[in-house]
Structure 1
């Protein structure tokens, strides 16, 4: 991935002072996942260009567990866009390579960081839902924007455009540190596979780097949500701090459910109606709460959480007194380790610890450990399987394990056109293999029920809209 920054300020070679990098020599910085090279393709008094070339080692990403969460799809660890598309890796490298400039200091020319410069920046390439998303992020900051879409394959025009763009930004009068802070924050916003863990320190970085411009940005809620991976425990306090002393122009901010299109784990903000007394739960929480409530209603004592992830549903199930034992199964060892940490398994009292089993396994192969349970929850899992392999999933769960009840949730594709960030035909998450309309989900559910002696009922999850339905859907199978 390549970032270039150019100026025609006179003398243009002042850019070298600002970046604290000598235009006369190549510099290489070792990073945990490869190398960052800083060099100047041109350096004259009339025009100067600095380049940051990030050479990411894809094998190092796997070895250090810093690539995308590919354990659920083994090839994704090795075959992905991480070495080529601008991502959180580039943001980290930018901070390491140009930290002095990012902080607005220049030892030799202390007055220079405050000078407004004509600046151009090019990033090749960035992932984005569409060119409009790039304009929404950068245009409010005063940039002239050019985007160049890249085809999936130039030799096969019928395949259409990819989700990758070359992004060019121009500003007639801007401090260099402002440009760097914009890139530092907004590049990770476009990256759905961030390599870092989100915690308080990430929120502080966002507040620090975005303090001068983010509170006034019209898409500040979207930026904050995406930067912090939609985690409500960090998103909501960060937005509150951003908005301190800032009166909204079109009514008060209210909490509303986050979209699956952004892989949401927490509430987001809109400007529609007065704030309720209590925040509206996110769609993700509504799903989990509804499934836990249905398991309580069923009176299930032994429960499977298939595709348990980091254990959010497991926590809810362990709070039900009727539940005697829960088995959480996931294909990802890393997710199971996170579940152990988040559930504080090591600190559980012995009797509570006996109620929980975490185990690695696949839903595509017969597993005798899954037999003998009263209920199984399969929450937002089937869409991550290849559609051609659903028959294997059906055999494993419904034909072999045969729990007394099975609860399956999946996105509703009818609702996707309500998401402005999604292009036509685009899925809500990069790892989704398919997304079904309500009619398709109903046909599949009724077919499974008929083949395996279950009855099934379907219900919407989330607020329903006429013609679109709800954002998610639930099927409850009972033997």
Structure 2
């Protein structure tokens, strides 16, 4: 089993290619051997000049040592442990070797060249044999979103008999300008994913390994659900935990499959978890995560979790799920039929509204055309029955500008949107929504800044998301909401979302605005507050 990593610095880079040895913590002038439980890992440098340097990791697999100590009763005992492709093809064995032999490089540390460890380098990675049942297309869908140019060729079953066709093995080459630590983490996670198997029994700490190695990029990967499921060998309890933790760390919102979409999963990557993968756990379809739209106005991200909190527990719901549930509950309380989702992003809330027949007309508005295209694709509007699809309209528009098409709706939702608006533009948003569109009710959710003290991963004074322009404490949100209500003829009451803290309140705060001229219903709601 062989892996080569080649670095070719551009002219005038100011450092020689042999500095790759410093980053890998392996001297190019000698061959080194590292004993593993399954054999020996060797590191050598076939070439090492100032212009070009190649490091090779060679695994010498001992099939007997691979199964030594395992009895017939162990979960991974089978004839396949003795007759297999492990000595010849990249697999979880190579992933383990990367983690053991290049551990410091994988963590992105280098005392002698710290600035180089943080620099994206021109790299070329070669793997002569990679099992990949999805073929070249799957390899491209997995590696290309990470910035790699993928050069993959299917290997024939037998060159002497071309009529037999291709095997499920690829000769894989990757080239790109990537930090070495990121390149190693991509291989560490994705090689066993492409193989679809691991040589060891998975324990609960496998989720920690995945988060440590892939936490910086996996949440934004378009195939993240498929990657997570394959990495964790479809153990649904682990998959749910991993997706929840990715949601907390990387601002991704986990969802559950619902009636909007039926999934038929094949060998290749898929954006959803199928019900078939729920064999372990509660038997329901697993969670599906959706990315936050980024810097554009959109449905907001799930917050980071408090240390020691229960959001990673598979039996509890994430804050993102609780938030959407609170919004839907408020819409049902209002009896709203025609609803605006302002700042809809990639459609996390739209998906749930569309699955609920109580809503006859749904309009999603976002400033980002890219987010709207993603929402259209994720909602699979082209595959929905016409009677379902015609209930939804997607429109591009900035929420700080008036749009006559948005007038006359029963309710408008701004879910985790206002904190993405620069404070000087809040007046324009207020006018566009409450004065110009003037729906019968408005639902606004936003983080409670006081609760941030419960998040150990947040430094004091920092926000939950990099694109937040501000975060309000409860008194600030109440003052803004009361002022908006008074200026535009609405009554307002506040609803906490998430488990409240006795001192700091709930993680998310919701304001429900109802037009005073709606009569007794609105007055009753205001009195209930």
TM range (shorter): 0.5 to 0.7
| 1:265-280 correspondence runs (5 A) | 265-266=253-254, 279-280=315-316
How far the C-alpha of 1:185 sits from its partner, in A, is 6.3
The partner residue of 1:456 within 472, 477, 492 is 492
How far the C-alpha of 1:388 sits from its partner, in A, is 1.2
Match of residue 265 from structure 2: none
How far the C-alpha of 1:330 sits from its partner, in A, is 0.8
Determine if the alignment matches structure 1 residue 426 to structure 2 residue 462: yes
Q: Judging changes above 3 Å, is the alpha-carbon distance between structure 1 residues 317 and 216 closer, same or farther for their aligned structure 2 residues?
A: closer
Match of residue 43 from structure 1: none
Distance 1:210 1:451 in 2: 65
| 1:239-258 correspondence runs (5 A) | 241=233
The number of equivalent residue pairs is 341
Match of residue 250 from structure 2: 262
Q: Judging changes above 3 Å, is the alpha-carbon distance between structure 1 residues 20 and 39 closer, same or farther for their aligned structure 2 residues?
A: closer
The partner residue of 1:395 within 431, 449, 463 is 431
Match of residue 421 from structure 2: 385
The answer on whether the counterparts of 2:211 and 2:242 sit within 8 Å (CA) in structure 1 is no
Q: Judging changes above 3 Å, is the alpha-carbon distance between structure 1 residues 478 and 361 closer, same or farther for their aligned structure 2 residues?
A: same
Q: Which moved more, 1:219-228 or 1:322-331?
A: 219-228
| 1:214-229 correspondence runs (5 A) | 216=205, 219-220=208-209, 222-223=211-212, 227-229=217-219
Distance 2:434 2:191 in 1: 43
Match of residue 358 from structure 2: 322
How far the C-alpha of 1:288 sits from its partner, in A, is 1.0
Write out per-residue CA displacement over residues 37-93 of structure 1, whole angstroms, 9 at most, x where no aligned residue.
Answer: x689xxxxxxxxxxxxxxxxxxxxxxxxxxxxxxxxxxxxxxxxxxxxxxxxxxxxx
Match of residue 52 from structure 1: none
The partner residue of 1:204 within 193, 206, 223 is 193
Two-structure CA RMSD over aligned residues (Å): 5.1
Match of residue 47 from structure 2: 22
How far the C-alpha of 1:201 sits from its partner, in A, is 7.0
TM-score by length of 2: 0.52
- Rg bigger for which structure? 2
| 1:350-429 correspondence runs (5 A) | 350-429=386-465
Q: Judging changes above 3 Å, is the alpha-carbon distance between structure 1 residues 433 and 220 closer, same or farther for their aligned structure 2 residues?
A: same
Match of residue 12 from structure 1: 29
The answer on whether the counterparts of 1:304 and 1:326 sit within 8 Å (CA) in structure 2 is yes
Any gaps of 5 or more consecutive residues in structure 2? Answer: 1-12, 33-41, 56-88, 120-178, 255-286, 288-304, 516-529
Q: Judging changes above 3 Å, is the alpha-carbon distance between structure 1 residues 219 and 420 closer, same or farther for their aligned structure 2 residues?
A: farther
Distance 2:191 2:101 in 1: 29
Match of residue 285 from structure 1: 321
The answer on whether the counterparts of 2:368 and 2:396 sit within 8 Å (CA) in structure 1 is yes
TM-score by length of 1: 0.57
The answer on whether the counterparts of 2:206 and 2:232 sit within 8 Å (CA) in structure 1 is no
| 1:49-448 correspondence runs (5 A) | 121=105, 184=183, 204=193, 216=205, 219-220=208-209, 222-223=211-212, 227-229=217-219, 237=229, 241=233, 262-266=250-254, 279-448=315-484
Q: Judging changes above 3 Å, is the alpha-carbon distance between structure 1 residues 11 and 449 closer, same or farther for their aligned structure 2 residues?
A: closer
Distance 2:365 2:184 in 1: 35
Q: Which moved more, 1:460-469 or 1:402-411?
A: 460-469
